[in-house]
Amino acid sequence: MKSKLALFALLAASAVTHAQDADKAPALSKERAAELQASERVLKADSHVSKTGQVTIKGKVVPYKVTAGTQPVWDKDGKVTASLFYTYYQRTDVSDKSKRPLVLSFNGGPGSASVWMHIAYTGPKVLNLDAEGYPVQPYGVKDNPHSILDVADIIYIDPVNTGFSRILDGKADRARFFGVNADIQYLAEWVSTFVSREGRWTSPKYLIGESYGTTRVAGLALELQNAQWMYLNGVVLVSPTELGLKRDGVVDDALKVPYYAATAWYQKALPADLQARDLKDLLPEVEAFTTDELLPALAKGGFLEAQKRAQIAARIARYSGLSPEYVLQNNLSVQPQQFWKELLRKQGKTVGRLDSRYLGIDKIESGDKVDYNAELTSWLHSFTPAINQYLRNDLGYKTDIKYNLFGDVHPWDFKNENTGENLRLAMAANPYLKVMIQSGYYDGACTYFDAKYTMWQLDPSGKMKDRLRFEGYRSGHMMYLRSEDLATSNEDLRDFIRSATPAPNAPAKY
């Protein structure tokens, strides 16, 4: 801590020195001043640069303004403690912003920047990838013909220590930023300020979060409503987490099997009769087996009859591409890290955690853990150079601060995580609010069937199930990296935004 304070003091002293130099040399150019600020690696608390552009979406030209900048985070006494970096896209041929939907986009981690959905999913620029989502050179971005910018303005927000966002007060308590509920509280305040600055209070508003970002936006839905009096129209959960909804033990074990089946089908590891069927025809059968047969069997544990145990093992093996012996050796409960190693062991390959279409190779074929996440290393190939080039050069946001795809946000306080219940309560209190879940069938971190379970448990009463929607895609955690799913998932978002925007003068009532 002392070294951090010393560094902060040194940077502050350096800033004073530069200010004195500027007084002595009034002819110092704005460009040179900006260079000096950048060289200190101190984030400006309040700054922005803007550019205009256009993109063709669904055959029509959409002009837009993009602003990259920072907005402060204040403490209760009004002192700036941190600043968040954001990128904000506004369609410029819309004269009345009061009815224009606004989408606020977050990624997850915790500790991950908003880069993933920004330049690979909903924005007007998208990574240079092949059709299946693999990196190609030259690295960079290109126009996204599927962006939702035609129907909504979008802001991508980087929480503290992700992207360019940083703590600015060396004495600030890290606990104020790095925890489930702390994160939600300061971000709600930040969002309220942004909406006020931009004059978007009457705009229909939507939150979209991916992975841990779903925990964030589920909690924000209620926090914005209760603490900022800001009511939303929709929340989109992309590859959702558990949202604090308990599913420990046999439920957690069982929910993985449909994902195993999807992965084995993609890797052509299933018996010929199953392999010949389409994935969406096969999965309902596996889901029914999971809920109707596997769950009751696992509940009996070691007291399950031997014959029934063998039958269940054979069914799991048939659907997962594993051997019955391996399933029995693991007491009918193969864990994901084992599956990623075991499925293609005879081929000397492992499958990716976040997207099991991606293959890896390990130093040794034995063992039950993979050496690395094959999919993440592939993604970092293309995302890292692209976002740096785009923000620094294409948009002209000049800074020597490192763009953190993954930042230091630890220790993270996971206590009192009730975001699923918070989202349910926000929906109950706001008849306008609708929720959509988007999941990839090949995601092994936040599996699609677990996401379905989350949806089922969000509203145990069933009174709001007509306001809950699930969509699945033939890819992984970032389903949008596959070009076919990029088109489909954005169209689903477009349809959701339209359906969750009420007709003029439609009252919010039950």
Q: What is the DSSP string of 145-180?
A: TT-GGGT-EEEEEE-TTSBT-EE--TT--GGGTSBH
Alpha carbons within 13 A on the beta-carbon side of 441: 24
**Cα–Cα distances in angstroms (integers) from residue 439 to residues 176, 336, 455, in the given order:** 31, 17, 12
Report the distance separating Cα 422 and Cα 184, nearest Å: 11
Per-residue pLDDT at 29: 54
User: Residue 278: how many CB atoms within 10 A of its CB?
Assistant: 8
Q: How many helices (H) and strands (E) does the chain have?
A: 17, 14
Peptide bond into 504 cis (omega under 30): no
In this structure, are strands 359-360 and 166-167 parallel, antiparallel, or unpaired?
A: unpaired
Per-residue pLDDT at 28: 45
Report the distance separating Cα 274 and Cα 262, nearest Å: 11
Q: Is the Cβ–Cβ distance between 130 and 172 less than 8 Å?
A: no
Per-residue pLDDT at 15: 37
Report the distance separating Cα 106 and Cα 500, nearest Å: 19
DSSP string for residues in 249-304: THHHHHHTHHHHHHHHHHTT-S-HHHHTS-HHHHHHHHHHHIIIIIHHHHHTGGGS
Q: What are phi and psi of 6, to 5 degrees?
A: -65, -40
Q: What are phi and psi of 152, to 5 degrees?
A: -155, 145
Q: Is the Cβ–Cβ distance between 370 and 350 less than 8 Å?
A: yes
The distance in angstroms from the start CA to the end CA of the chain is 53
Per-residue pLDDT at 21: 36
Q: Is the Cβ–Cβ distance between 472 and 442 less than 8 Å?
A: no
For residue 165, give both structure tokens.
């966002």
Per-residue pLDDT at 380: 86
Report the distance separating Cα 212 and Cα 178, nearest Å: 13
Per-residue pLDDT at 31: 56
Q: What are phi and psi of 186, to 5 degrees?
A: -75, -30
For residue 292, give both structure tokens.
């109707």
What string of pLDDT tens digits covers the 510 residues of the chain? 433 333 333 333 333 333 333 333 344 455 544 444 444 678 999 999 999 999 999 999 999 999 999 999 999 999 999 999 999 999 999 989 999 999 999 999 999 999 999 999 999 999 999 999 988 899 999 999 999 999 999 999 999 999 999 999 989 999 999 999 999 999 999 999 999 999 999 999 999 999 999 999 999 999 999 999 999 999 999 999 999 999 989 999 999 999 999 999 999 999 999 999 999 999 999 999 999 999 999 999 999 999 999 999 999 999 999 999 999 999 999 999 999 999 999 999 999 999 999 999 999 999 999 999 989 888 888 999 999 999 999 999 999 999 999 999 999 999 999 999 999 999 999 999 999 999 999 999 999 999 999 999 999 999 999 999 999 999 999 999 999 999 999 999 999 999 999 999 999 999
